[in-house]
Amino acid sequence: MIQIRTVTLDDAQKCLDIYSYYVLNTTITFEYDTPTLDEFKQRIQKITQKYPYLVAIIDNEIVGYAYATSYKERAAYDWSVETTVYVKKDKHGLGIGNVLYSQLEQSLKEKKIVNMLACITYPNPKSIDFHTNFGFEKVGHFPKVGYKFNEWRDIVWMQKVIK
């Protein structure tokens, strides 16, 4: 059974462990280096001041997390957020991402958020399928936006209107 709760700073190392795999081994994130624990804690603190940041737990183990952040810093964008979800590399296919995103969406509705936006490295068919199945639509494709592992990478933006 998947339990969802709000992140705490005590969860930072477990979440960072999940994220580190993606930084070091994939183009899913465009970070080159894993943030330090202190940097990751600062990110959690900043995000949770305004937006939901959730962890998924199975058998007392953090197996994923999801959060929303500001799409842009201007006040006119306050009803739109960028969403992020990461699942532990060996826990895919268990519905963790769906449960996290469902709860994240509910929390965002309560905050009167209108748009969930996702920036996805392309190609990434699993993430695009996940977001499509969750009700997102592709709204933009930008070629050669990121450079990682000696290759240019495109991004796609997907959007879900939740109001």
CATH of the domain at 34: 3.40.630.30
CB of 28 within 8 A of CB of 130? Answer: no
**pLDDT tens for each residue of 16-41:** 999 999 999 999 999 999 999 999 99
User: What is the pLDDT confidence band of residue 163, given thresholds at 50, 70 and 90?
Assistant: confident
Number of structural domains the chain divides into: 1
User: Exposed, middle or buried by CB within 10 Å (0-12, 13-18, 19+), for 21?
Assistant: middle
Q: Which domain holds residue 72?
A: 3-161
Q: Read off the pTM.
A: 0.96
Q: How many helices (H) and strands (E) does the chain have?
A: 4, 7
User: Exposed, middle or buried by CB within 10 Å (0-12, 13-18, 19+), for 140?
Assistant: exposed
Tokens of 136: 């997102």
